[in-house]
Amino acid sequence: MTVPFVFARAGNAVRLQDGLDFAAMPPAEALLKRIESRTARIAVIGMGYVGLPLAFAAFEAGYPVCGFDIDPAKVEGINAGVSPVGRIGGDILVRMRESGRFEVTSD
């Protein structure tokens, strides 16, 4: 799924092609607009049996996803396409990483 908006940075405000200025909106409204436009960044803590499938679901819905785990070996493996859980295959992880919308870190 592609996002039908073009972004431009102007200072700290992010403007969408349709003229939305998130910085000028009340926080709840800005969040709803980001959810609707799939520009809200999803963070998932823990890349195990719950977190990794959750990150995959958010990715498949079109959101950029940042995963976090305290185990550097697990993070390194996921970033290399090695899945720590059987339900999410390495080929899926590679596709997610190559899209540019999925990253995993321990920082």
What digits encode the pLDDT tens for the residues 40-89?
Answer: 999 999 999 999 999 999 999 999 999 999 999 999 999 999 999 989 99
Strand order in the sheet with 102-105: 42-45, 65-68, 102-105
Average pLDDT over residues 30-35: 90
Whether 10 has a pLDDT exceeding 50, the answer reads: no
Query: What burial letters (b/e) apply to 39-72, b meaning 16+ CB within 10 Å?
Result: beebebebbeeebbebbbebbeeebbbbbbbeee
Q: Which spans in the chain are helix H?
A: 27-36, 51-60, 72-79, 90-99
pLDDT exceeds cutoff 60 at 14: no
Cα–Cα distance, 57 to 67 (Å, whole number): 12
pLDDT mean across residues, the chain: 84
Q: Is the pLDDT of residue 15 over 70?
A: no
Which of the two residues, 67 and 6, has the higher pLDDT score? 67
